[in-house]
Chain A
């Protein structure tokens, strides 16, 4: 009985280490045809989600939201990542999520041949991103 209780407490403790992270990715956006060739924050977000699936299979993304309308290159994407069933501590989780999001951003930038520091009509041409812990 005592042993079962301890196992139960251990399980609860490992869940309590988990955190919720907010991912934001931004790009220059633009007209879907006139600015074709600009990087797309929704495309980047999807690439990041698939990278995250491999890097951290225990994580679960939700509340994905990106872009304004069908005929505009998406200029922003935001989603949350629930790590409730993951075993790692918050710092390790943040590191893995950041690496996956960076991979998504890098892939989208590379696909459109955009390099760090490039500008498109005065606006940063690349996908930029942030990952921050927003809750436990």
Chain B
């Protein structure tokens, strides 16, 4: 790691301050790898093709066709199945290179189910040549692999809709109109994108309105552009569609990496998804806090940002609790007896009044919390809700403040139950008392890099220079909670970047999520940059028969040898 003091001009020449910023040292081997791969004629053809209007349209159409498939975390089966179908039937990928299975199994992974549920990853392999080399190393029979991924779950709708209504509408609204304020207003917008019976977008009048690319929201407003509303537009299907194009185009050009390159649409990044997709891929057990990396990934590159130039290198830790309050069955409305609903709401109200150090001083480490869900069972006629459940999320970049907020929140669960029981002179355990149970505990391990010179950071840095897109003066050291938390926790170097390029967007994690298509040529270059990053990590066989060596050793990191179910 090299820390450079960068002089930052604060205001004109009058005053300046010094900011400490990390800039990776890039090795000569990394520079040479980027140069050799990028100058290969096949790679240059790929770069050019990704910039073309046809490739831009491929990304947009794929994005729209897939994002409308409702895909709540842990119920991604329909989006997964559609991607799996496209791999083989549309994108020319040989069935033997489709690594995941409809239904959620991933052969070779060191863990199959997460929180007792199947994991709907959609993964393909671009096979490498490493296994054919003399002395090739494997881990328990698994050759080295590099993972490129984007997630396929979306916060809304929170529950999988019925089979006969699998799609979310994609509504169009002039960009200069104010945002809709209610779901009813959104539903009342007449213009929407249309799709045929095979799920393909129809290029009608509305398509012409929707598919125009702009530099910014202002540009879209001036030029009469449209805003596209659909949950998952930015988070994360604009990125994931671009990642899928990597699988399609590397297959088309018969690219031969050295190590296998895996391209995945991953399940369970959001909310109760609990990073299920990554936990399966890296064999990470929440019970032990360790990962076996049975598939032997040596590097990880994720795309889940819509900010050009972003590269998340540190990962916010989070704890999540799902707590259920239960009252005896059959209590009538108005009865003078402890209530599950009141117990839950006492807990929520107490949590809602907490202030983190960051709430009090924005210079403190960004520590946040939210009760994301409060939900009670439907009451019978004249009765009460018998069970109420809250879900709370808390986050911080480092363990100490995270533990501090947890130590404030966790006692509130029981205090609320005790207060509700005490109101009626009861104690825990009385037959009429409200009970409490922990339904689910989520753990995203925090990780702060100690070395900004690891191969993946170097690759990220050099690839930007080589492609000439999204170069930065320094790494952004802020932390985010991402799929990368899992590989980072098992020691596999990882980075999370931006690929999909909206002109503007908003409403992330809400029913009114929206976006406007952005610079398609720059987006093509970002896809190419992600390909270059993957091939620098995995190694590359050039068109004239030379081998550009992988920048990572063939044995992936792991924190346990234990294999999980």
Q: Which residues of A contact B (CB under 8 A)?
A: 26, 28-36, 40, 42-43, 45-47, 49-50, 53, 58, 60-75, 77, 79-80, 82, 84-85, 108, 111, 121-124
Pick out which of these stretches binds chain A: B54-62, B245-253, B344-352, B531-539.
B344-352
Q: Tell me if A70 and B373 are in contact (CB < 8 A).
A: yes
Is B509 touching A30 in the complex (CB atoms < 8 A)? yes
- A30, A40, A61, A82: the one contacting B510 at CB < 8 Å is A30
Q: With A and B bound together, what is the CA distance between A26 and B512 in angstroms?
A: 13
Interface stretch of the complex, out of B63-71, B295-303, B386-394: B386-394
Confirm or deny: B508 has a beta carbon within 8 angstroms of a beta carbon on chain A.
Answer: yes
If A43-B348, A111-B353, A122-B179 touch, whether A82 touches B334 (CB-CB below 8 Å) is yes
Q: Judging by beta carbons under 8 Å apart, are A49 and B378 in contact?
A: no
Q: Which residues of A contact B378 (CB under 8 A)?
A: 63
* Contact flags B314-342 to A (C-beta < 8 A → 1, else 0): 00101010100000000001100001011
Identify A45's interface contact among B342, B366, B374, CB under 8 A: B374
User: What is the CA–CA distance of A130 and B420 in the complex, to the nearest angstrom?
Assistant: 27
**Contact B158 A46, beta carbon cutoff 8 Å:** no
| CB-based contact A31/B374 at 8 Å | no
Known: A33-B395, A84-B334, A122-B506. A69 touches B344 (CB 8 A): no
**B370 adjacent to A73 (CB under 8 Å):** yes
Give A124 to B351 CA distance when docked, in angstroms: 24
A42-B351 Cα distance, complex, nearest whole Å:
11
Residue B207 lies at the interface, judged by CB distance under 8 Å to chain A: no
B446 vs chain A, min Cβ distance (A): 13
The answer to the question of B21 belonging to the interface, with a C-beta cut-off of 8 Å to chain A, is no
Known: A46-B345, A49-B341. A62 touches B373 (CB 8 A): no
Closest 10 CB pairs of A and B: A69-B271, A46-B348, A43-B352, A85-B334, A72-B509, A67-B373, A29-B510, A70-B391, A36-B368, A62-B379
With a cutoff of 8 Å between Cβ atoms, the chain B residues found around residue A68 in the complex are 155-158, 271, 372-373, 509-511
Shortest distance from the beta carbon of A104 to any chain B beta carbon, whole Å: 9
27 contacts between A and B (CB under 8 A): A26-B182, A29-B509, A29-B510, A30-B509, A42-B372, A46-B346, A46-B374, A50-B346, A60-B333, A61-B345, A62-B379, A62-B384, A64-B385, A67-B372, A67-B375, A68-B372, A69-B270, A69-B271, A69-B272, A69-B372, A70-B320, A72-B509, A84-B333, A84-B334, A84-B382, A122-B506, A123-B506
Chain B residues near A45 (CB-CB < 8 A) = 345, 348, 374
- Chain A residue, CB-CB nearest to B362: A37
Residue of A nearest to B358 (CB): A36
Tell me the total A-B contact number using a CB cutoff of 8 A.
191
Q: By the criterion CB–CB under 8 Å, are B352 and A66 in contact?
A: no
Q: Are B375 and A32 in contact (CB under 8 A)?
A: no
Q: Is the CB of A71 within 8 A of B372?
A: yes
Q: Does B178 contact A (CB under 8 A)?
A: yes
CB B461 to nearest CB in A, in angstroms, measures 25
In the complex, what distance in Å separates the CA atom of A126 from the CA atom of B66? 33
Is B181 at the interface (CB under 8 A from chain A)? yes
**Interface flag for B481 (CB, 8 Å):** yes
- Which residues of B have CB within 8 Å of A26? 182
CA–CA, A136 and B163, complex, Å: 35
- Which residues of chain A are within 8 angstroms of B481 by Cβ–Cβ distance? 33, 71
B contact face: mostly helix, strand, loop, or mixed: mixed
The answer to whether B503 has its CB under 8 Å from any CB of chain A is: no
Q: Considering only CB atoms, which chain B residue lies closest to A64 in the complex? A: B376
Residue of B nearest to A36 (CB): B368
* Residue of A49, A68, A75 contacting most chain B CB atoms (<10 Å): A68
Smallest CB separation, B442 vs chain A (Å): 7
Residue B169, interface by CB 8 Å: no
Would you give the shortest CB distance from A1 to chain B, in whole angstroms? 28
Contact B333 A72 (CB under 8 A): no
Chain B residue at minimal CB-CB distance from A59: B334
Task: Give Cα A43–Cα B334 distance, bound, in whole angstroms.
Answer: 24
Question: Could you say which of A31, A66, A108 contacts B373, with CB atoms under 8 Å apart?
Answer: A66
| B476 located at the interface, meaning its Cβ lies under 8 Å from any Cβ of chain A in the complex | no
Name the A residues within 8 Å of B480 (CB-CB). 33
A84–B382 Cα distance when bound, in Å, is: 9
Other-chain residue from A42, A58, A61 in contact with B341 (beta carbon distance below 8 A): A61
Interface contact A77-B322, CB-CB below 8 Å: no
Q: How far is A75 from B155 in the complex, measured between Cα atoms in Å?
A: 12
A58 to B372, CA, bound (A): 29
Distance A58 CA – B272 CA, assembled complex (angstroms): 36
Whole-angstrom distance between the Cβ of A100 and the nearest chain B Cβ: 12
Q: Are B374 and A77 in contact (CB under 8 A)?
A: yes
Determine if B349 and A31 form an interchain contact, defined as CB atoms under 8 angstroms apart. no
Task: Kindly state the separation between the CA atoms of A87 and B55 in the bound complex, as whole angstroms.
Answer: 69
Contact of B334 among A32, A46, A60, A111 (CB under 8 A): A60
B371 within 8 A of A: yes
Q: How far is the CB of A44 from chain B (nearest CB, A)?
A: 8
Q: Is B309 an interface residue (CB 8 A)?
A: no
Counting CB contacts under 8 A, is B507 at the interface? yes
B266 CB–A CB distance under 8 Å: no
* B73 interface residue (CB < 8 Å to A): yes
Chain B residues in 8 Å Cβ range of A67? 371-375, 391
- Residues of A near B373 (CB, < 8 A) are 42, 66-70, 74
Q: Please tell me if the beta carbons of B371 and A43 are within 8 angstroms of each other in the complex.
A: yes
Distance in angstroms from B441 CB to nearest chain A CB is: 11
- Among B351, B370, B388, the residue within 8 A (CB) of A36 is B370
B373, closest chain A residue (CB): A67
The residue of chain A having its C-beta at the shortest distance from the C-beta of B269 within the complex is A71
* Bound form: Cα–Cα A68–B334 in Å: 29
Contact indicator A53/B342 (Cβ below 8 Å) = yes
Are A74 and B374 in touch, CB under 8 angstroms? yes
For B511, what are the chain A residues with a Cβ–Cβ distance below 8 Å? Answer: 29, 68, 75
Q: A64 CB to closest chain B CB, in angstroms?
A: 4
Cross-interface CB contact of A71 among B342, B366, B509, cutoff 8 Å: B509
Inter-subunit contact B370/A63 (CB<8 Å): no
Chain A residues in 8 Å Cβ range of B370: 32, 36, 40, 43, 71-74
